[in-house]
Amino acid sequence: MESESGGKALEGEMEVEAFKRLFPLPFYEKHLSQSLRPDSRSLDESRPTILVLGTVQTADGSATAKIGHTTMMAAIKLEIMIPTSESPNEGAIAIEFHMPPVCSPIVRPGRPAEVAPVISKQLSDVILSSGMINLGELSIISRKAAWMAYLDIYCLDADGSLFDAALLSAVGAFVNLEIPPVSLSDEGRITVASAELLEHTEVVGSKEKRKLQLGEIPLSLTCVLHKKYILADPNAEEESIMDTLVTIVLDTSSRLLFLYKPGGLFLANSSMLQSCVQLAKSRLTVLKEILRDALSEMDVDEE
């Protein structure tokens, strides 16, 4: 009797899976009509999120962020450069987002993912325009030397909301960044100061590593819109079968910085966008707490 009931249950599961594969949108709509998603989340619920600072020992600043299965690793490498004549008292930041084939079956070896340069541009716009980084803090000697910060973000697992996880990892890397002391040789050459150099050469500025003083920090939430439904933090399957993606970027004072809508349907109903902004504000509260917890963990580890 038990084997018969077990067989029927298995047969039922196979029928559900077959229906999901053949008719993914009706499958989702059946759940959405009950204000639920197939992964048991409510429509406005984001996936579990983790941020760990200092995950790349060879970098000057690094972090790994995970939203559901989506995983990003960000690392910053500092190099000394000659500042430009237009900005003689500022350093610079270069940002690149990478999607290696290991992150998703849709990314093929030798063929860069189309979304990678788009996310690189969006990250650059947000980070450089948000006011989080004062480029003057990257200056070493006016007109002679400044820091160039190379931020590379690697997607290790792509399961939706890629920009949100990439931005969170980037923010974590800058929070974790430590700027090393530099020394000035008798010939006027500026180099990163090792412990030995600190004793025998002139030091420019502090002899200790220093943190950046960050301004308001940008954080984001992506929503997928389908008919009358709004789903927060969509996974890859939800993004692939539904109509419209909207990414809301706020800073830590809840100021709206950017709104990205890459294609999809025209939104005549502004109330849906307003609802997305409200969801982003709720998500912001959670992300700020996650950032505080990551900082606390880092402080404990350093002690």
Distance CA 279, CA 281 (A): 5
Per-residue confidence at 70, pLDDT binned at 50, 70, 90? very high
Please state at what angle helix 24-32 crosses helix 2-22, rounded to 10 degrees.
110
- Check residue 227 and give its pLDDT: 85
Q: Facing residues of 97 across strands?
A: 153
Burial label for 170, CB within 10 Å (0-12, 13-18, 19+), is buried
3-state helix, strand, coil in the chain (%, to 5): 35, 30, 35
Residue 66 dihedral angles phi and psi, to the nearest 5°: -135, 125
DSSP string, 223-270: EEEETTEEEES--HHHHHHSSEEEEEEEETT--EEEEE--SS-----H
Query: DSSP secondary-structure letter at 193?
Result: P
Evaluate if residue 15 carries a pLDDT over 70: no
Evaluate if residue 45 carries a pLDDT over 50: yes
Q: Facing residues of 274 across strands?
A: none
Which region among 24-38, 89-103, 195-209 has the lowest average model confidence (pLDDT)? 195-209
Q: Beta strands 178-179 and 139-141: pairing type?
A: unpaired
Q: Which of the two residues, 288 and 106, has the higher pLDDT score? A: 288
**In sequence order, which residues have a C-beta less than 8 Å from that of residue 112 and are 6 or more positions away?**
99
Classify domain 49-177+212-302 at the CATH topology level.
Ribosomal Protein S5; domain 2 (3.30.230)
- Check residue 44 and give its pLDDT: 95
Which position has the token pair 């902004």?
277
Contact status, residue 262 vs residue 252, Cβ threshold 8 Å: no
pLDDT in tens, 221-279: 999 998 889 999 999 999 988 878 999 999 999 999 999 987 655 555 678 889 999 99
- Check residue 10 and give its pLDDT: 45
Q: Which of the two residues, 183 and 161, has the higher pLDDT score? A: 161
Any idea where the domains of the chain sit in the sequence? 49-177+212-302, 182-209
- Check residue 1 and give its pLDDT: 46
pLDDT in tens, 78-114: 999 999 999 999 999 999 999 988 887 776 665 567 8
